[in-house]
Homo-oligomer: A and B are copies of this chain.
Amino acid sequence: MDSDATDDQKVLLDASVRFMQQVCPLTRVRERAYSNITYAAEYRRQAGELGWFSMLVPEDLGGGNVSGNGVLDAALVAYKRGATLQPGPFTGTNVVAHALSTAGSKEQRQKVLPALMSGEASASWAISPPAGHPAMEDGVSAEFRGGACVLSGCKTFVQDVDESCWLLVTARSNAGVSQFLVPPGTPAVRVVALDSLDISRQFSEVHFEGAQLPASALVGMEGKAFDLVAHQSAIAAVLTAAESVGAMDHEFEMTLRYAKDRIAFGRPIGSFQAIKHLLADMSLMLEMSKAITLAAARSLGSDDGYGLEAASMAKAFVGDAGVDLAQNCFQIFGGIGFTWEHDQHLYLRRLTTDAALYGDPAWHRERLCQLSKL
């Protein structure tokens, strides 16, 4: 999607790519370098310097973007991140930065937001309930007792939570949907690291065992978070789709090269229609994935009235197309793709997980119907 970037965006992307190549190439992803706290902190700090976590924050709060459309800038960075399966809660931190900018208290904006933007701290969004269709706000209930608020329940699929990580928790109370900003190290919040199909990132389950939070932990007003959650969900959808498109693009290139190089029956296998036509179809789906993701980023970032719908459409389309593409690449690689040392499985794992993250294709299709008043 480089050809879609403006000159200013290209500067941002080039710097970002250099950073990733130096600090976290695929070999380091394989080693799970990001699970080391010191490494992760340094990664975040440098990413913060590049502006990765400031793009959805208005200038008067210290943020900024290069094109006037922060969602589009972030999506282009996400696309580059996806190509080398970068770890770290990029989507989460940006979603939380957006939420604090939009609805955070003065304290949250002044104390937490700058730390997120600089990469000093990270943030992740605890949204998915452990069971059921990802009806986003389920899983954790909030009860107000005196000046404190008590959270109980569980969220899962929370990405890259570490000791310095703030959690934005979307929960239900009698008043409706509310959100809470939970500081790292809060008592009765138990983070359980899980193993995962996707080995490029770390997912956790977070248990809220009657965790007490001060009222100041509320983001926005109690029970009024519905619209903000919808917007956060759209941002997460677009950024996840963009990361997927990056991963698709890279995997497609690997596979294309293999189809040209691999010889069987005295010919390169890419000369057989069975392979050639499959690659042509995959290329079409990849181009459509790029087109719909960019369209969604443009629409959501410019508040043109169709952003929520477009975001859900992009997530649904790319979710399915990404898994299809990874499966087809696997088929073309054949036996060699079954080996641990080959990279294809890293992409298959990532794209399959991305499809489910922040709402799977079926969920976003249903959401599109609801947004369209069907």
> How many chain-A residues does the 8 Å CB contact rule pick out?
4
Of A53-61, A169-177, A253-261, A269-277, which binds chain B?
Answer: A269-277
In the complex, residue of chain B having the shortest beta-carbon distance to the beta carbon of A272: B273
CB distance from A272 to the nearest CB of B (A): 6
- Interface flags for A240-274 (1: CB within 8 Å of B; 0: not) read 00000000000000000000000000000000111
CB distance from A281 to the nearest CB of B (A): 11
CB distance from A187 to the nearest CB of B (A): 42
Q: List 6 A-B contacts (CB under 8 A).
A: A272-B273, A273-B273, A273-B274, A273-B277, A274-B274, A274-B277
Task: Please give me the 4 A-B residue pairs with the lowest Cβ-Cβ distance, nearest first.
Answer: A273-B273, A273-B274, A274-B277, A272-B273
8 Å CB interface, A46-102 against B:
none
The complex places the Cα of A274 from the Cα of B278 at a distance, in Å, of 10
In the complex, residue of chain B having the shortest beta-carbon distance to the beta carbon of A273: B273
The complex places the Cα of A277 from the Cα of B274 at a distance, in Å, of 7
The complex places the Cα of A273 from the Cα of B272 at a distance, in Å, of 7
The complex places the Cα of A273 from the Cα of B279 at a distance, in Å, of 14
In the complex, residue of chain B having the shortest beta-carbon distance to the beta carbon of A275: B273
Please indicate the chain B residues that have their CB under 8 angstroms from the CB of A273 in the complex: 272-274, 277
8 Å CB interface, A262-320 against B:
272-274, 277
The complex places the Cα of A272 from the Cα of B274 at a distance, in Å, of 9
CB distance from A263 to the nearest CB of B (A): 17
Please indicate the chain B residues that have their CB under 8 angstroms from the CB of A272 in the complex: 273
Please indicate the chain B residues that have their CB under 8 angstroms from the CB of A274 in the complex: 273-274, 277
The complex places the Cα of A274 from the Cα of B272 at a distance, in Å, of 9
CB distance from A347 to the nearest CB of B (A): 25
8 Å CB interface, A124-158 against B:
none
